[in-house]
Amino acid sequence: MPVLRFTVNGVPRELVVDSCETLVYTLRERLHLTGTKIGCEQGACGACTVLMDGKPVLGCLTPALRCQGKEITTIEGVAENTHLHPVQEQLVRAGAIQCGYCTPGVVMTAIAFLKENPDPDETEIREALSGNLCRCTGYTKIIKAIQRAAEELRS
């Protein structure tokens, strides 16, 4: 079986993987990084979103072997020691986390988005998050939190 060499949250990893193994399976079942969630497994819900070289990808649709030589960031790699990332912090403050199942994917999408667009309007935020489904919050608090995180990151 092929060997996958990649970096996860700054740590070099080397694993023998099945050629049909998905990235989210590798992260959760092989590396025990269970912060990344599995929802639909069909590319529809965004729960499995992680960053590959800083860009969001869906872990359920990404073959693990496509990550050869890449830098993967998961929700476990976002906070710095005990300091939450501003996106995480503002989601907590806004009360934008209910069951929390969508939250890791939302955080990863929002972090990548705010790097590309540091001063987005509400429509742009809604568009950026259109692939991240949330059954609980109605999105309003999530949008507000991302607006506040953008302000914090700009300041």
What does the binding site for ligand FES look like in residue numbers (CB under 6 A)?
A: 38-41, 43-48, 58, 60, 97-102, 134-137
Cβ-based neighbour number of residue 77 at 10 Å: 20
Q: How far is the CB of 154 from ligand FES (least distance, A)?
A: 26
The residue (of 44 and 79) whose beta carbon lies closer to ligand FES is: 44
Phi-psi region of 103 (alpha: psi -120 to 50; beta: other; left: phi over 0): alpha
The residue (of 15 and 38) whose beta carbon lies closer to ligand FES is: 38
The residue (of 4 and 94) whose beta carbon lies closer to ligand FES is: 94
118 neighbors 155 (Cβ within 8 angstroms): no
H or E element in which residue 52 lies: strand 49-52
Q: How far is the CB of 44 from ligand FES (least distance, A)?
A: 5
Selection from 143, 121, 119 nearest residue 130 by Cα? 143
Q: How far is the CB of 113 from ligand FES (least distance, A)?
A: 17
Q: How far is the CB of 68 from ligand FES (least distance, A)?
A: 20
Cα four-point dihedral sign 6, 115, 91, 39: negative
Phi, psi for 75 (deg, rounded to 5): -60, -30
The residue (of 70 and 137) whose beta carbon lies closer to ligand FES is: 137
